[in-house]
Amino acid sequence: MSSEAPHRELVINGQRFRLDHLVDISLPITPEVATNAFSLPAATFEPYRIGSFVGSVEEGGPVRCDIVTIAPHGNGTHTECVGHIAGRGYTVDVCMREVVDIATLVTVPLEEIGGDVVITRENLTAAWQDNGSTTLIIRTLPNDVAKRTRRWSANNPAYVHIDAMNLVVERGIRHLMIDLPSVDREEDAGALVAHHRFWQWPDNPRTDCTITELIFVPDTTPDGTYAVMFNVAPFHGDAAPARPVLMETLRV
């Protein structure tokens, strides 16, 4: 008889995943020191005040009740839908239909091309053995912990080269996750070519597909196959805060 405690399991398409070893790959939305992108304002948490009531225990109120102001695209891990480029006709609470999926995590070195730093098709191909997963998680190198609080604004951060995005679409990826602030160049005169290619907008829209940006995958999590719980907040907008969590494959 084995002395090991039984694993809690999740089974997706016949693959078994451990529920007792979870890896949170999100960055929090916080008024403290936090990552930021696109020169968007930092998140704020202010006590609600009305009459003599104050929503702050520290200020003598009976409870904490904050009014929170956020800009999802720049304040932490967020999932966006085609509404990001298509407008108010599409919202993430409607477009994001999955709760869990099978994901492939790959680590990809960045490369400088024409003065920009990008994920190339060649480097992505070398790192990614296609196994039919419909979610792809990209961890870029270098992967220093400074990514957790990096101020990306006005620094021309790395992005996904259009040829690499073509590969993502060719392999049937429906949910893309990346540890950069955007799949496109910070300043590109509004072209957003990688966003358009991913969602095939406007010619053949993939309205049930999503992009999650500003994740962070620790070095202790090896490349491979995982189950991912998306945990996307039901915002009626183009993007919403998200807390993706990985579950490792259960080896038998």
Q: What is the per-residue pLDDT across 154-165, written as a single tens digit (0 to 9) for each?
A: 999 999 999 999
Q: Which CATH number is 9-28+73-249 given?
A: 3.50.30.50
The predicted structure's pLDDT at residue 1 = 36
pLDDT(22) > 90: yes
Please give the Cα distance from 210 to 3 (Å, whole number).
Answer: 42
Q: Classify burial at 153, counting beta carbons within 10 Å of its beta carbon; exposed 0-12, middle 13-18, buried 19 or more.
A: middle
The predicted structure's pLDDT at residue 2 = 41
Share of residues in the chain with pLDDT > 70 (%): 96
| Mean pLDDT, residues 189-212 taken together | 97
Please give the Cα distance from 219 to 103 (Å, whole number).
Answer: 17
Q: What angle do CA 186, 70, 55 make, to 5 degrees?
A: 165
Q: Which residue type, as a one-letter code, is found at position 243?
A: R
For the full predicted model, state whether its pTM sits above 0.85.
yes
Q: Classify burial at 37, counting beta carbons within 10 Å of its beta carbon; exposed 0-12, middle 13-18, buried 19 or more.
A: buried
Domain ranges of the chain: 9-28+73-249
Buried b (16+ CB within 10 A) or exposed e, 76-90: bbbbbbbbbbbeeeb
